[in-house]
Structure 1
Amino acid sequence: MTRVPEGIETGDRAAAATGDDPTAAVLLDALARAGLPRGVHSWVTAALWGDEALEARAQGRAVPDAPPPAPAPQAPARVRRAYLTRIRVQGFRGIGRPAELTFPPGPGLTVIVGRNGSGKSSFAESAEAALTGRNPRWDAMPTGWRDGWRNLHYDESTEATVDILIAGDDAPTRISRRWTGESVRSARGEIVRPDGTTAPLRTLDWGEDLIRYRPFLSYDELGRTVTGRSAELYDTLTALLGLTGLAEAERRLARFCDSLAKRRDRPSRELPRLLDALRACDDPRAARAAELLTGPGLDLEALRRLAEDDGPSDAALHVVMRRLRRLSVPERVVMADVVNELRGASMELAMAAGNKGDHAYGVVRLLEEAIELHQRHPAETTCPTCDTPGTLGADWVRRAQARLRVLRQQAAPAAAAHERAEAARDQARFLLAPTPSWLPPDSELGLVWALWESGATITDLGELADHVETVGKSLRAAALSARRDAAERLEDPTGGWAEEAERLASWIDAAGDALGARDTLAEAEAALTWLAEQARLLRDERLGPVAGQAEQVWFRLRQERHIDLRGMRLIGRGARRRVEVDVTVDGVGDQTSAPGLLSQGEFQALALSICLPRTLVDGNPFGFLVLDDPVQAMDTETVEGLSAVLAEVGRHRQLVVFTHDTRLPDALRRLGLPAAIRTINRDAMSNVWVSDGSDRY
């Protein structure tokens, strides 16, 4: 038979864990005695003031030597503890018609036993919903499950009412919640005070306490205590111990140190990418910057001068680019017209060649040139072609002019063909302009233009047409490419250096900031080290009573198992904060493996060991704790240990335990432990009724 446990501490030692100690005063006293350097001291006080003070401290502005003064100490007000007197439910989950549970207000253990589906959890969850408007079990369920919360056999309103007697009141305070919509969170709540006046639920001011002390614990929530997010339990215990402000100060200083460390390390992280970009840039200034960045020492001023020099690296080339952007070459249509005219004139010449008209055209040209020569040299009478003296003279001129009048008529078609050919050549020569003097001859456009210009020496009309057509296409393509490249380069006349100069300037600013952050970080980290150590000492001191109670509870639950709970610690901060529970199995104390050897029932017992002491804290305004199915997965010996623990806790608090497992009431009866045992039943139409423990099912 299991021995009734000795008394679980609920007195002064537990009160030390409530946070009634003036934490700020304790911390300031330790700070005054620490003898920290003034800079480190000011970082600690800035962390206690808040984020704005930390920013001010980082910027060199003054921060008060002490954190904000705490309110003048007052004698702690006696907690007006609240006890359940009734839970009334209708239309909620498994309960249809109105059903209720009543309890004597004050400490004591009540066990309500019923089969699965008898309405036990409906009572527990409706009571929690009445006070909080939510239930952690709902939050973890799929949407379809959360929406199926109304009872199928009851068409009237869904309501949950909890009557609570608050110490010092003559009558209970009634807390009601009525659901008006389809959502489980559509309920509206109100309270009716003992004097009959109504008020919103928020006037009870229990919001934080409901989270901190959790007067409702289900099987699922107990499981998450050990296997779920440890940060949630950490925050709960920190608030319970009155150390939330200190934890926040430590977190904000740690965040600030992380920010300073990132600023310090940023130039080193970004340097490889900056060097890659500089080495990929053709500008000589980029090469010089890379040389300075990788050389001995770091000359920020020399780097800054380079970054500020963001003009073109080659002024002459910049002029060429500007001219190229405005450069024009013959349009494709114009080239096509000239080519067509050259080929048309060539064809017309070919058709006129060798006929009488062409011969007449040749004679006309010869006579016209001879007359012109004689007119310039009238004294010369010797024929220039046959060298016959006395041939030329006034008579010869008259005869030649008369002959010309006849021949010109015969030569007219041939003359027109030759005139057209010459005009076509002139058009082509106009297009074949010489290479601009400013154009680099070795550039792609310069080489093509030189070839284009050489066409001016071609006399054959067909060859000239082919030249204009073929080389003209290449000229236009090269010119368009050169103009496009010039436009792009003129957008950044530095050829890419401007962008790299901007990146370099940003890196230089970050490097300067890193130097300041490095010096600042040294003091801030020293302050964080001191503050973290003080927080650890205070956590260990205040958690001790709660951890001691947890060990006592575990000792009674473990029975004959060789499993020891050696303590709890609050460790880490920020995202890494957690509650570390020391468990040894068969003497194995490796925390990474020992918990993995626990069975599900042992996990449940461990969770109860951690959660039950929270109920006994003096600052807890809730004199009651509702446990929904804590017995699941426990063996018979553990159930006997649990019955003894619950009976002992029931001496100090009101415990309401819902269970389907008859081993718990059997153990209470067998051990002769004080408890009110009731049974709950439900029929096919969701009618629920409760009877005393003499009824069995």
Structure 2
Amino acid sequence: MNDEMSLFRELADRVAEQPIADLILAAFHSDEALDATLAGAKAPEPPHDPTGQDDTAPDVFLESIRVAGFRGVGPAVTLELKPRPGLTLVIGRNGSGKSSFAEAAELALTNDSMRWSQRPVVFREGWRNLHHDGDTEIAVRLRLGGDRPPVNIQRHWDRTATNPDDNAAPPNELLNKVGLYRPFLSARDLERVITAKPTELYDALAPILGLAPLAAADARLQARRKQRNDRANEVKAGFTTLKNDLAEVDDDRARQALQALGARPTSADLDTLTQLTETGAASTDAAIVAAARRLIDGELPDVESAVQEREQAREAVDRLAGSESATAGNTADLLRRAVQQHTAEGDQPCPVCRTGRLDDSWRTAAEAEITRLEAAAAESRAATQRLDKAEKTADQTLAEVRRELGAATTALAGALPEATQHLSEALLKLPESTGLVTAYTQMVEAATRWLIRRQNAWREPGAALRRWLDCAVTVRDEATDLKRLVAARTALGKAVDEIRAERLSAFVGQSEHIWRRLRQESNVELQQMRMEGTSTQRRVRFPVTVDGSEANALAVMSQGELHALGLSVFLPRACANASPYRFVIVDDPVQSMDPAKVDGLAEVLGEIARGRQVVVFTHDDRLPEAIRRLGVEATVWEVSRRARSLVELRMADDPADRYLADAHALAAAQSLPEEARHPVVAGFCRSALEAASMDAYRARRYREGATHRQVEEKLAPANTVQQRLTLALLGDLRRGDELYGHLNETYGSWAADTLRAVAEGAHGTRRMTMTTLVRNTDNLLEKLR
């Protein structure tokens, strides 16, 4: 299971009972997941582990650092290192070029340098050596655990390059956690304890805890909380301004809006305000606005034509009233009945006049008359029908005009008194239409001007109200989400505090342990270091006690104590168990330390070197002296710099060689009694064989793929020179009874005799002369190597 999935499950367990757990877990995932959950989607599933495999990285050691034309180094020179746990000192005076190796390794592996990071540009100058005419090159060779081949990390700049940021090293999966555990401890790191802002120091330490996903989750929650809270504040801030602006507007809409707004933003009647902004009219003047718009959108019926048609139709009827057309229909009807009588009963006397006779000749004449009379009657009927229609149309038109315009004059009388007065007078004169069109046109124009003025007066206040209302509606709709986000951040903050405290405890324990070793005679005691807060409030606290009284570390510590505190803070980060980098580079750690603290530093470095490859660069002679005096095993390289930046490296000390040199010098010291010298010489020879045996065993086991933990576990019970030689030559302590036979068969009897001599010599037994003992030990060392 990868780190992120493990952290997700740990977080899920801690917030499982929270009603807002879905928001917290969604924020852990991504912005998209959080937005979807806020919108009502289900809580997301745990992050998917695409491999399903352990992502443990191989152990990484430094094998060499090659530098050419960089900082204080001119021609190419290579610092060779033993790729295994152990302490290496690189010593030399200031300006010798030793720190150039530390900075070169840091730049190659991180594409940056703490020396110039977050500092003025002047610190970036001088990265290229002034005395080197060729290209600048850095090559770091890494040795990996197991049977993996070594890896070379290179940076190269041609002679025209002016910026060290050019030609960054290509990505390498071995280095994907180098920023997290940062196996470099520079003077700038130590300085940050004193000078860095609280957030910068927090950020320098936080990666080791692996809580970045939680910080990202909090940032997502905070961004959305802030977004909603800013809107709520915007509504509050705009409320008073809006009310003040509306109070200055003489408009029913403004008055209704003020009433709907109420005394506080939270009590505003948003529904009424929404209706007001949508209709553009207050309830008090809605009828006036509607009447004006109906008037403008409508058309005046043609009253004059309707009345004129009625009058013409009436005149036509009157003109025909005394003519034959008026009675032709009745006469034709009478003759038609007489024809029907003749048809039914035949010839007979006229039933009307009693003098004439109804016969065939009369019938012929009567039918011709009927045809003539019906034609005359049709004209009369047409005139009557036209009059009926004209009267109905005129009545309907006049009624419509009176109704519509009467309603308009009633509705608009208060707004447009003069125009409505003229139109009312014209309506009273109907059906006479003289002046109606003029009055109507004036009324429409007046209504149009009134609406325009009204619209102009409300444009800005209405727009301001709409903007505020839109925001207020959004705030109302988001109120629940805002409460959930606030609660989610609170719950997440509590979970982060708990997880951080648990993960920090081991780190703090290491820091306090290192401080106790470094402080030596100091009366300042470091208490439980704490990392607190989130967002811009994150900080690291260093509570201390001085002779039992609580104080702030930065306020009471000396410069040397502060640098010791820096080592206590940053060394555990570089040496975290989870780090794949089994090396740590420390540059100039002795600053301002008194001798007691230098001794403590030597002990700390020696202790760390049991499980880490520790490379320390220093110009201070006190550290190598303390390491020699305290018997801390270390490889020492001395750096010297000649003219034109020609840097040379010389092996200054090797544990086995040192012991052997001491044995040789003491054996030659004729001024001391032999009985006093011999046990000590034998002890030096024994220490040389033990140191070389441990080196040989470690080197072979690392080549075989063993981890440093496995190697140290095997070395821990090997306390005698025989046991350590057994591991070096036979690889298994259980084969100890084979050791002397192996020496005899492999090197000769002299080797077994030498081992017996150094083992027993420290207790006073002399099996050979001191000169022979030293010479044979030297030969055996060569064989072991």
Flag the 1:240–1:220 CA change in 2: closer, same or farther, 3 A.
closer
Alignment of 1:328-347 (within 5 A): none
> 1:168 maps to what in 2?
146
Match of 1:532 in 2: 493
Could you list the per-position Cα deviations for residues 497-540 of structure 1 after superposition, in whole angstroms to 9, with x for gaps in the alignment?
21111111221222222223222222333333323222221111
Structure-2 residue corresponding to 1:84: 62
Matched with 2:131 is: 153
CA contact (8 A) 1:176 1:189 kept: no
The amino acid that maps onto 1:47 is A
Contact 1:19 1:241 (C-alpha < 8 Å) held by counterparts? no
Query: 1:633 pairs with 592, 602, 606, which one?
Result: 592
TM-score by length of 1: 0.64
User: 1:586: how far off?
Assistant: 4.0
The letter for the 1-side match of 2:507 is V
Q: Indicate whether 1:623 and 2:582 are aligned.
A: yes
Corresponding position: 1:508 with 2:481: no
* Structure 2 match to 1:293: 261
One-letter amino acid of the counterpart of residue 610, structure 1: V
Quote the residue 2:649 is aligned against.
Answer: 690
Please name the residue that 2:559 is paired with: 600
Amino acid at match of 1:502: A
Indicate conservation of the 8 Å contact 1:120/1:658, yes or no: yes
Code of the aligned partner of 1:257:
R
User: Residue 632 of structure 2: SS of its match in structure 1?
Assistant: coil
Retained in 2: the 8 A contact 1:179–1:186? no
Corresponding position of 1:583: 544
- Aligned residue for 1:116, secondary structure, equals coil
- 2:221 maps to a residue whose letter is L
When the two chains are superposed, the root-mean-square deviation of aligned CA atoms in Å is 3.4
Looking at structure 1, the residues matched to 225 and 49 of structure 2 have their Cα atoms a distance apart, in angstroms, of 26
With over 3 angstroms needed to count, the CA separation of the structure-2 counterparts of 1:45 and 1:95, relative to structure 1, is closer
CA contact (8 A) 1:82 1:624 kept: yes
Which residue in 1 is equivalent to 2:569?
A: 610
Q: Which residue of 2 aligns with 1:100?
A: 78
Question: Is the contact between residue 33 and residue 44 of structure 2 (CA under 8 Å) also seen in structure 1?
Answer: no
Structure 1, unaligned runs of 5 or more:
1-15, 191-200, 320-439, 441-487
Which amino acid is 2:75 matched to? R
* Number of the residue aligned with 2:236: 268
Mapping 1:295-334, distance limit 5 Å: 295=263, 297-308=267-278, 310=280
Shift of 1:261: 2.6
Q: Structure 1, residues 226-269: CA drift from partner, whole Å, max 9, x if none?
A: 53144455445444333332332233223323333333333112
Larger Rg: 2
Q: How big is the shift at 1:118? A: 0.8
In the other structure, the counterpart of 2:386 is none
Q: Secondary structure at the match of 1:176?
A: strand
Aligned to 2:210: 242
Provide the C-alpha distance between the structure 2 equivalents of 1:153 and 1:299, rounded to a whole number of angstroms: 80
Map Cα deviations across residues 528-553 of structure 1 (whole Å, 9 max, x no partner). 33232222211111111111101101
**Matches of 1:492 and 1:585, distance apart in 2:** 80
Q: Secondary structure at the match of 1:626?
A: strand
The residue correspondences of 1:99-248 to structure 2 (distance < 5 A) are 99-169=77-147, 172-180=150-158, 181-185=160-164, 187-188=166-167, 201-202=170-171, 204-235=172-203, 237-248=205-216
C-alpha deviations, 1:638-669, integer Å up to 9, x for none? Answer: 22211111111111111111111111112112
What SS is found at the alignment partner of 1:155? coil
For the Cα contact (< 8 Å) 2:110–2:179, is it kept in 1?
A: no
1:52 counterpart (11, 22, 32)? 32
Report the residue type matching 1:155 in the other structure. D
- State the TM-score, normalized to the length of structure 2: 0.58
Q: Secondary structure at the match of 2:528?
A: strand
Does the alignment pair 1:663 with 2:642?
A: no
Q: Structure 2: which 5+ residue stretches go unaligned?
A: 294-415, 417-448, 655-785
Q: 2:600, 2:645 → 1: CA distance?
A: 34
Distance across 1 between alignment mates of 2:252 and 2:558: 71
Partners of 1:163 and 1:676 lie apart in 2 by: 19
Aligned counterparts of 1:310 and 1:650: Cα–Cα separation in 2: 81
Contact 2:635 2:653 in 1 (8 A): no
| Structure 1 residues 47 and 172, CA gap change in structure 2 (3 angstroms) | closer
Compared CA separation, residues 31 and 302, structure 1 to 2 (3 A): closer
| Cα distance, 1:206 vs structure 2 | 3.6
Post-superposition CA distance 1:538-579 (Å, at most 9, x none): 111111111110110111111222222222333222232233
Distance 1:533 1:513 in 2: 30
- Secondary structure at the residue paired with 1:153? coil
Aligned 8 A contact 1:588 1:594 in 2 = no
Mapped partners of 1:68, 1:85: distance in 2: 37
Q: What amino acid maps onto 1:149 in structure 2?
A: W
Aligned partner of 2:311 in structure 1 is none
1:25 to 2, 6, 9: 9
- Could you tell me which amino acid in structure 2 is paired with residue 245 of structure 1? P
Cα-to-partner distance string for 1:193-215 (whole Å, 9 max, x where unaligned): xxxxxxxx42x314431111112
Q: For residue 531 of structure 2, what is the aligned residue in structure 1?
A: 570
**Secondary structure of the corresponding residue to residue 589 of structure 1:** strand
- Aligned partners of 2:151 and 2:38: how far apart in 1? 52
| Equivalent AA in structure 2 for residue 534 of structure 1 | A
Higher relative contact order (CA 8 A, sep 6+): 1
In the alignment, is the contact (CA less than 8 A) between 1:137 and 1:221 conserved in 2? no
Q: Does 1:553 align with 2:501?
A: no
Identity %: 39
Taking the aligned partners of 1:174 and 1:72, their CA distance within structure 2 comes to 27
Mapping for residues 411-430 of structure 1, pairs under 5 Å:
none
User: Which of 502, 507, 512 is the aligned partner of 1:541?
Assistant: 502
1:365-386, Cα deviation, whole Å (9 max, x unpaired) = xxxxxxxxxxxxxxxxxxxxxx
Contact 2:5-2:48 at 8 Å conserved across structures: no
- Asked if the contact 2:11/2:495 (under 8 Å) is kept, the reply is yes
Contact kept? 2:8, 2:47, Cα under 8 Å: no
Q: Distance in 1 between matches of 2:246 and 2:553?
A: 55
Alignment deviations for residues 344-376 of structure 1 (CA, whole Å, 9 cap, x no partner): xxxxxxxxxxxxxxxxxxxxxxxxxxxxxxxxx
Is residue 62–residue 82 contact of structure 2 (8 Å, CA) maintained in 1? yes
Distance (whole Å) between structure 2 residues aligned to residue 558 and residue 105 of structure 1? 31
Partner AA of 1:634 in structure 2:
M
C-alpha separation in 2, matches of 1:306 and 1:246: 46
1:355 counterpart residue number: none
Partner of 2:602: 643
Matched, 1:64 2:60: no
Letter of the 1:29 counterpart: D
Native 8 Å contact 2:199 2:538 kept in 1: yes
SS of residue paired to 2:529:
strand
User: Is the partner of 1:86 in helix, strand or coil?
Assistant: strand
Cα separation, partners in 2 of 1:658 and 1:298, compared to 1, 3 Å: same
CA distance in structure 2 between the partners assigned to 1:177 and 1:187 by the alignment: 9
